[in-house]
């Protein structure tokens, strides 16, 4: 049980203020600050030795800040020195916190050299960044800016302690300038910065150092359900409706209606259908322009392809009676490949008393007709899946979502009453109740046309098999996003990033699903 509780900390994200409060509880309970620093720093030193053993790297430069992050750096310096590494310190600050000063004094007594000129560390084979930890909010200035500028120009690997110096812990904003790390060793609990797209080029590869924060102290500060959570494989697996009962049939395994496609964008319909197929949905129905039916049947013979009247240019002009019989479905997904001509389709589908997913042209029409504010009046949940450009069109009044994505998606969900999936290197999913799910990894291989269509189908098929509250639906959307990202990662590993088109991606979804 205790092991499972510690594992649960892998999925929790805390803000800078929450981390301060958690540490405050630990200190108030009797844990000395010095003891906690020793524990965290020694574990970090062990991780550094695993990444860069003495047999590969011997000359290490360590940047020492004035606060406890600098204290951590000095404990690491001591430990690496005692293990035989050749340590040089960069200490540009004349005033240090009391505990940090004690460690600086001891480092000096050990004969560890210390400099105020960053350029004297150029001979090092590894740099450890201990200038500033979590909680930095003011832009860096003066000699620190000059030092980081020089450091970022060197071709030397950098390990940052907790977060790269110069980044805002919560938003990922670059505070004037920031260190570009090769690795970042996050201390204690994950912070929002690790899931903000604008910070990723500075973080490098992130790893968490668990130094034994009591679970009870985390739960005392971070309310449950946790407002920010990472969608791990364990949590994804818990959502999937597997194994299926022995006695079941297709209508009990979800009934999904896709409304998609046009003569111009027939591929969008195919890719959406392939994504839905991979979800294992029991009954897939697809409403497409009548001229596309033969093409869709050839690619998705198991789906019920419903032909609809079309415009002169090959867009859906209206839904046929079979597609309009919404009692036959559990959820509707609408948008990929529709074109702007299908405005009436999107307007009419908003009144359907079923969960609704809108993507691609469904979102563009929604934004163009300024109908976002009316989503909260729907009797059933709505799921929107925008990329950054679509998000800006839907919510032009929300501050730059390319910056603090977490706050932006949370606000959009609360204002619209919809579940919002904001695509990106770290996809974020928010529900109207304030819960945000974050996908911990992805791949640039997914930056290809059609990848989002596959995701829409996958979400629709997965959510169709898991009816329930809006909270359950948001977790289903997050699970589909995790599944989609993992398929992209696996495909890129086997085929390289350039070898992963959307059709190929769809063929890897079942490989990931089999791993559940």
In a domain, 137, yes or no: yes
In a domain, 95, yes or no: yes
Residues in a beta bridge with 138: none
Mean pLDDT of 469-479: 88
**Is residue 431 a known part of a binding site?**
no
**Is residue 428 a known part of a binding site?**
no
Give the pLDDT confidence of 18-52 residue by residue, as tens digits: 999 999 999 999 999 999 999 999 999 999 999 99
Same domain, 16 and 109: yes
The CATH number of residue 65's host domain is 3.40.50.10260
Pairing relationship of beta strands 436-438 and 428-430 according to DSSP bridges: antiparallel
Q: How many CB atoms lie within 10 A of CB 53?
A: 12
Residues in a beta bridge with 185: 161, 207
**Is residue 137 a known part of a binding site?**
yes
Same domain, 179 and 293: no
**Is residue 337 a known part of a binding site?**
yes
**Is residue 69 a known part of a binding site?**
yes
pTM of the model: 0.95
**Range from 79-88, 114-123, 228-237, 441-450 carrying the lowest mean pLDDT:** 228-237
Give the pLDDT confidence of 295-337 residue by residue, as tens digits: 999 999 999 999 999 999 999 999 999 999 999 999 999 999 9
Q: Dihedral through CA 442, CA 443, CA 445, CA 448, nearest 10?
A: 50
Give the domain-ending residue among 189, 220, 251.
Answer: 220
In a domain, 328, yes or no: yes
**Is residue 252 a known part of a binding site?**
no
d(CA 495, CA 358): 31
**Is residue 133 a known part of a binding site?**
yes
Residues with Cβ within 8 Å of 107's Cβ and at least 6 positions away in sequence, in order, are 74, 77, 78, 81, 89, 114
Same domain, 213 and 250: no
Same domain, 122 and 62: yes
Cis peptide leading into residue 243 (ω within 30°):
yes
In a domain, 228, yes or no: no
Same domain, 425 and 459: yes
List Cα–Cα distances, 265 to 261, 340, 387, in angstroms: 6, 12, 19
Full 3-state SS string of 101-128 = HHHHHHHHHCCCEEECCHHHHCCCCEEE
Q: Is the pLDDT of residue 254 over 80?
A: yes
d(CA 102, CA 227): 38
Give the domain-ending residue among 187, 220, 253.
Answer: 220
Q: Give the model's pLDDT for residue 513.
A: 81
**Is residue 70 a known part of a binding site?**
yes
CB 184 within 8 A of CB 208: no
Same domain, 348 and 479: yes
- Burial tier of 245 (Cβ tally within 10 Å: 0-12, 13-18, 19+): exposed
**Is residue 424 a known part of a binding site?**
yes
In a domain, 268, yes or no: yes
Domain assignment of residue 412, given as a range: 233-514
CB 127 within 8 A of CB 158: yes
d(CA 275, CA 400): 30
DSSP-based helix, strand, coil % in the chain, nearest 5 = 50, 15, 35
CB 103 within 8 A of CB 131: no
Mean pLDDT of 254-273: 97
In a domain, 227, yes or no: no
Phi, psi of 280 (to 5 degrees): 85, 15
Mean pLDDT of 476-483: 97
Give the domain-ending residue among 167, 187, 220.
Answer: 220
Mean pLDDT of 57-75: 98
pLDDT category at 3 given cuts 50, 70, 90 is low
Same domain, 196 and 273: no
CB 8 within 8 A of CB 226: no
Q: Give the model's pLDDT for residue 467.
A: 72
Same domain, 322 and 201: no
In a domain, 225, yes or no: no
Report the alpha-carbon angle 353-412-364, nearest 5. 65
Residues in a beta bridge with 334: 259, 358
DSSP string for residues in 8-39: HGGGBB--HHHHHHHHHHHHHTT--HHHHHHH
**Is residue 416 a known part of a binding site?**
no
Same domain, 242 and 124: no
Q: Is the pLDDT of residue 362 over 80?
A: yes
Instruction: Give the three-state DSSP class for 358.
Output: strand
Q: Give the model's pLDDT for residue 84.
A: 98
Give the pLDDT confidence of 166-223 residue by residue, as tens digits: 999 999 999 999 999 999 999 999 999 999 999 999 999 999 999 999 999 999 999 7
Q: Is the pLDDT of residue 2 over 70?
A: no
Give the pLDDT confidence of 110-145 residue by residue, as tens digits: 999 999 999 999 999 999 999 999 999 999 999 999
Q: Is the pLDDT of residue 10 over 60?
A: yes
**Is residue 325 a known part of a binding site?**
no
Q: Give the model's pLDDT for residue 5.
A: 67
**Is residue 100 a known part of a binding site?**
no
List Cα–Cα distances, 410 to 39, 182, 367, 455, in angstroms: 35, 30, 18, 21
Same domain, 203 and 289: no
DSSP 240: S
**Is residue 361 a known part of a binding site?**
no
Q: Is the pLDDT of residue 469 over 80?
A: no
**Is residue 387 a known part of a binding site?**
yes
Average pLDDT, the chain: 95
Cis peptide leading into residue 239 (ω within 30°):
no
Instruction: Give the three-state DSSP class for 59.
Output: strand
**Is residue 135 a known part of a binding site?**
yes
Q: Give the model's pLDDT for residue 110.
A: 98
Instruction: Give the three-state DSSP class for 271.
Output: helix
In a domain, 226, yes or no: no
CB 108 within 8 A of CB 89: no
Same domain, 397 and 355: yes
Count structural domains, the chain. 2
Same domain, 250 and 371: yes
CA gyration radius for the chain? Answer: 26
pLDDT category at 256 given cuts 50, 70, 90 is very high
The CATH number of residue 497's host domain is 3.40.1190.20
């Amino acid at each position: 049980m205790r092991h499972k509780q510690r594992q649960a900390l892998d999925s929790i994200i805390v803000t800078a203020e929450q981390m301060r409060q958690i540490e405050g509880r630990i200190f108030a309970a009797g844990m000395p600050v010095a003891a906690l620093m020793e524990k965290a720093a020694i574990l970090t030193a062990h991780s550094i030795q695993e990444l860069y053993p003495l047999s590969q790297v011997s000359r290490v430069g360590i940047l020492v800040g004035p606060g406890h992050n600098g204290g951590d750096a000095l404990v690491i310096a001591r430990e690496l020195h005692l293990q035989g590494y050749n340590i040089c310190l960069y200490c540009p600050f004349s005033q240090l916190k009391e505990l940090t000063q004690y460690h600086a004094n001891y480092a000096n007594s050990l004969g560890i050299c210390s400099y105020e000129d960053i350029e004297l560390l150029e001979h090092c084979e590894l740099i450890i960044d201990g200038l500033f930890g979590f909680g930095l909010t003011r832009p860096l200035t003066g000699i620190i800016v000059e030092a980081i500028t020089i450091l970022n120009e060197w071709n030397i690997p950098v390990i940052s302690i907790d977060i790269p110096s110069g980044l805002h812990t919560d938003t990922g904003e670059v505070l004037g300038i920031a260190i570009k790390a090769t690795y970042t060793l996050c201390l204690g609990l994950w912070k929002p910065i690790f899931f903000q797209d604008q910070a990723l080029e500075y973080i490098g590869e992130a790893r968490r150092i668990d130094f034994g924060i009591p679970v009870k102290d985390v739960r005392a500060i971070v309310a449950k359900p946790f407002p920010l959570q990472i969608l791990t494989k364990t949590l994804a697996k818990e959502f999937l409706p597997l194994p299926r009962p022995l006695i079941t049939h297709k209508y009990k395994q979800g009934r999904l209606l896709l409304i998609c496609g046009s003569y111009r964008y027939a591929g969008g319909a195919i890719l959406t259908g392939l994504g839905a197929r991979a979800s294992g949905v029991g009954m897939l129905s697809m409403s497409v322009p009548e001229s596309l039916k033969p093409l869709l049947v050839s690619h998705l013979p198991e789906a019920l392809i419903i032909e609809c009247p079309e415009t002169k240019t090959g867009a859906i002009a209206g839904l046929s009676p079979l597609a309009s019989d919404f009692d036959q479905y559990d959820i509707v997904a609408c948008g990929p490949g529709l074109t702007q001509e299908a405005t009436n389709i999107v307007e009419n589908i908003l009144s359907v008393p079923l969960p609704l997913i809108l993507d691609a042209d469904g979102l563009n029409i929604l934004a163009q007709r300024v109908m976002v504010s009316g989503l909260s009046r729907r009797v059933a949940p709505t799921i929107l899946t925008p990329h950054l450009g679509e998000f800006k069109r839907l919510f032009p009044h929300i501050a730059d979502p390319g910056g603090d994505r977490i706050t932006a998606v949370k606000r959009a969900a609360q204002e619209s009453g919809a579940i919002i999936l904001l695509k990106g290197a770290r996809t974020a999913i928010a529900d109207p109740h304030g819960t945000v799910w974050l996908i911990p990894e992805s791949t640039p291989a997914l930056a290809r046309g059609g990848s989002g269509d596959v995701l829409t189908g996958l979400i629709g098929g997965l959510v169709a098999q898991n009816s329930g509250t809006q909270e359950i639906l948001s977790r289903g959307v997050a699970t589909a996003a995790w599944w989609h990202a993992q398929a992209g990662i696996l495909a890129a590993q086997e085929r390289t990033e350039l070898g992963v088109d959307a059709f190929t991606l769809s063929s890897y979804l079942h490989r990931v699903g089999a791993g559940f």
